[in-house]
Structure 1
C-alpha cells in the first residue's frame, strides 16, 4: 500500500496562519481584551504559581517572563503590555465572578430560574384546586341553583297528570314544603320535596293491577314481630304491579319500617290476621290462589283502590 503526502513547502495552513496573524498583528482593542482574559485563565490554571508570585514585585516580573515563555512555546506572540494587563486584571479580580449580595431581587431571580422545578408542583396543586372547584360546582352549586326551576317544572307536570283532589292536595303540600325550604335556605329540605314530587309524578303516570305473588318457590305472605311490642305480629301479603299489557312494573314504595322510598317489583302490603289467613287457605287447598287480585291503581291517582282490607302500609324487604 502506498501513501501519498503533500510536499512540505515550509508554509503553515492558511487557517492557522490567518489565526496567528489575527492574534499577533491585530491592534483591535477586543483582541487585546481576549488575550488578557486568556492570560488570566492561564494564571488560574497555575493557581499556586500566581499566589506565590503576585505579591512580590520582582517575582511578578519573573511571572511575566514565564508567561511569555508559555505563549512562545505555543507559537503565540503576546505583547508585554497585554501580559501586564492580564496579571493586573487577576490581581484586581477583574475577570472573576463574584456572586451578588443576598437581597430580595436575587431571591426572586433564583426562584424564577428554578421555575422548572417548583413550577410542576405549583401546576399540579393548581390543577387539583381547579378540579375540586369544578366538582364542587357540578355537584352542588349548579344543582342547587336549579332547584327552584326543578321544583316548579316537576310540580307543573304532576298537576297536569293528577286526576283527583287527593292527588292535587298531596302535590301542593310537597310543592309548598319545597318553596318554604328555599326561602329558609334549607337546601336539603328543598331536595327532599323535589324527590317527593318526582316520586308522585312517576306514580301518577302508572296504571296497574295489584296481583298477589303465586309462583312456585316464592312466598305469598310474611309476618313480622314489631320491636316495640314483641307479643304482636304484623302480617303482610306480597304483591306486584301488572300493567294492562301484562308487564310487571317497578313501583316507588315507601317502607313503613325504615321511612325510605324504594323502587321495587315486589312489596308487602300490611293486612289483618283474618285477611292473611284467608289468602293462606286459598293457596293451601290446591296450591293456587284463585282470588289473586289485591287492588287496582288507575292513572292519575296516587293511592290504589284495594279489594282486600289493608292499612296501606308496606315493606320492601323481608
Structure 2
C-alpha cells in the first residue's frame, strides 16, 4: 500500500493526478464528472490519487496564458463530497500562501483525519503577495495537534537554473516531507542531473533517500504543448520538433513518456534510488485523458519489468 511504500522508502509507487472541476460548475455536472472519474479510476491498479489545488500562475510568466484561468473546487472538498466512493489513498495539494497562520492551523485541524497525505505548495512567484511562506506552513503543521503527513514538490527545471534542488529536498525532509512529486518531466537530462546530485549528496552526508515520484503527461496538440511550456515544463528543441512534425502527436508523446520512464527506472535502479510515477492529463480533452490512462498502464508494465509493481489498495 501507499503508506508502506512511502514509510519504507520503496520504489514502485504509481499515482494518477486529477484537477477538480471548475468552481462555477453546476452541482449536477460536478456529480456527473465525479461519477465518470470514479468509474475510470476504480479499475486502475494504482497506489493513490493526486488532487491538485490550482493557482493562477500568471505572476510567474509574462507571456499570455494559452487557456484562461478559472478557479476550481478545493481538492479536499471535492474529495470528501464527491469522491468518497473511490477507495484509494488521496494526496491533496494545498496552496498555503493564501492562508494566515490561524487559517492554516484551522484547515489542518479540520481535515487532518480525512486526508492521507498533503503536498503544500507556495506562491507561484515572488512578485505575488503571500500571507504565509512554505517554511512557515511546514512549521505550523509540525506543531499542530492534528498534523498531516506531508509530501513535497521537486522541479528539475529549477535545478537546471539554480543547481540546488537536492538541497531544497533535504531541507524539506527535515521539515516533515516524506516523499516528493515532480513537475511534469520532458527533459530527461535536467531530471538525471537532479537525481545524480540527490544521490551523491545523500552519500556524502549520510542521508537516507526518500521516494521521488515523477509526473508524466501526454501532449495531444500544439496548444497543449504551448500550455505545458507556459507552466514551466522544459521541452527540448529536438523533442518539440519531433512532436510538431509527427503524424500523431498524442501517440508520439506517449512513446516519449514511456522512453523517459524506462530511462529513469534504469538510472535509479542502479543506484537504489526509490522512485515512482504520477500520470496526469493537463488537458480536459477526452483523447488526452484517455491517453493518460493508456500511459499509466504502459508505465505499470515497465515498473513490473523492473520488479516495481503498484499495489491495489483494498
**TM-score above 0.5, yes or no:** no
Per chain length, whose mean CA-contact separation is higher, i.e. which structure has more relative contact order (CA < 8 Å, sep 6+)? Answer: 2
Higher helix share goes to which structure?
Answer: 1
